[in-house]
Amino acid sequence: MRELYLASELTKRPVVTLGGEAIAQVKDTVFDGGSARVAGFTLAGRGLFSGPLHRGLPWAGVHALGPDALMVPDADVLADRAAVASGAEAASGLVRGTEVLTDRGVAVGSVLDVVVVSGRGGEPGPGGEVVGVRIASNEALGHHEREVYLALPGPVAMTGDTVLVPAAGTEHLAPDLVQLDHLVARLRAVEAAGRGADPGGGPGTESPGTEAPVQGAESQGQRTPQGQRTPLGHQETRRHDMAKSEGEDAGNVLMVLTQLLGSAVVDAVGAARLGAVDGLVLHASPGSRGRIAALRLRDAKTEHEVIAWADVHAVGPDAVIVTADRPASPHPAAASALSVSSESQELLGQRLLTDLGQDIGTLDDLTFDTETGRVERLATSRGEQLPGERLIGVGTYALVVA
């Protein structure tokens, strides 16, 4: 029978050959962020004063991950430590405090521990799979700083500082490992049934109908339809920053530029942090409503400092999720906006002129639709709120309104 283990419990677990020799002990568990599985282990010597070893254990060399020892065929399966993970990866893995983000850009908590499935390395099956995380949840899940287990619905993207999960999956919560085991078994059975496969072989032995206590955002009446860009509990807790406008499309959420600035930009595929939002690139012209053409980045971890709006998957209260790490490629109508240098479209504090040449102050803030990128309101330094459709020009000297 397969069992679930916390990664923290594996530290100091002896590594024992089938010949009965204890050759090392586990120092750190290293995860493959792309597949959400155990990649291997860094090792330490046995004994009170033993330090890290220069050898590591790849998962493929594991005979069995058991409750009391990690079994290997012999010492020959050990590999160079660098082959298991770089020094930085081995030191971090999924460290305590890693942020858990939904693919809608909502932070739901921080990682306290990682749950993996027992099994054999180098064989097909769930062995070594990351099936859940123990998290300190926040108000987005309806309770602050409560420790719960979040089941992961299949492989998810993870890095040393971010775990990216589907927003719809945040309802899959359990209070302990036993209930998590039931929940994971049920989820895997549903997935297998959807593929027309045999649901057996997953963690646990429960039937597909077994229900684990679920106490997530959806069970508290905060259901978010799959595919809709409405964040979880933050929709209520941050209503002062994300207000509805008259005539707004149903289900869409508004955000102000000052809230967006500084938000992390996260790659939806690999959960890598690409940088932080430093500003917007707008496109506006007479007869065409102003819209966001792209996001400008600071502290960019990529050679590209501009992300096209077309590549934005979701704008949430805690992060922006993007689907492509590549040069911006907007609609041709917005291409001219992207030719403006980063320094020349500093929107906040920019002069506001009417099309009749009257100075009406400067831009204090800008409200936009997180779904469409449409400019909804312009807040001026004189306390006025101008409808977004009045914006007809974005230049280096001024923003022009009709």
Rounded to a whole number, what is the largest CA-CA distance in the chain?
89
φ, ψ at 48 (rounded to 5°): -60, -40
Q: What DSSP element (H or E) covers 272? A: none
Higher-confidence position of 251 and 178: 178
Has residue 197 got a pLDDT over 60? no
Evaluate whether residue 384 is within a structural domain: yes
What pTM was computed for the model? Answer: 0.74
Evaluate whether residue 235 is within a structural domain: no
Q: Are residues 48 and 138 in the same domain?
A: no
Q: Are residues 82 and 103 in the same domain?
A: no
Q: What's the whole-number mean pLDDT along residues 284-289?
A: 84
Has residue 241 got a pLDDT over 70? no
Q: Are residues 86 and 104 in the same domain?
A: no
Residue 303's pLDDT band, with cuts at 50, 70 and 90, is low
pLDDT of residue 229: 34
Evaluate whether residue 225 is within a structural domain: no
Alpha-carbon dihedral 135, 138, 142, 144, rounded to 10 degrees: 100
Q: Are residues 182 and 264 in the same domain?
A: no
pLDDT tens digits along 91-142: 345 567 889 999 999 999 999 999 998 877 666 667 788 999 999 998 888 7
Evaluate whether residue 380 is within a structural domain: yes
Evaluate whether residue 233 is within a structural domain: no
Q: Are residues 178 and 313 in the same domain?
A: no
Q: What is the CATH number of the domain that holds 309?
A: 2.30.30.240
Contact 167, 106 (CB under 8 A): yes
Evaluate whether residue 351 is within a structural domain: yes
DSSP one-letter string for 31-72: EETTTTEEEEEEEE-SSTT--EEEEEEEGGG-SEE-SS-EEE
How many domains is the chain partitioned into structurally?
A: 3
Evaluate whether residue 227 is within a structural domain: no
Q: What's the whole-number mean pLDDT along residues 18-30?
A: 93
Q: In terms of residue numbers, what domain contains 279? A: 252-401
Range from 114-123, 191-200, 306-315, 349-358 carrying the lowest mean pLDDT: 191-200
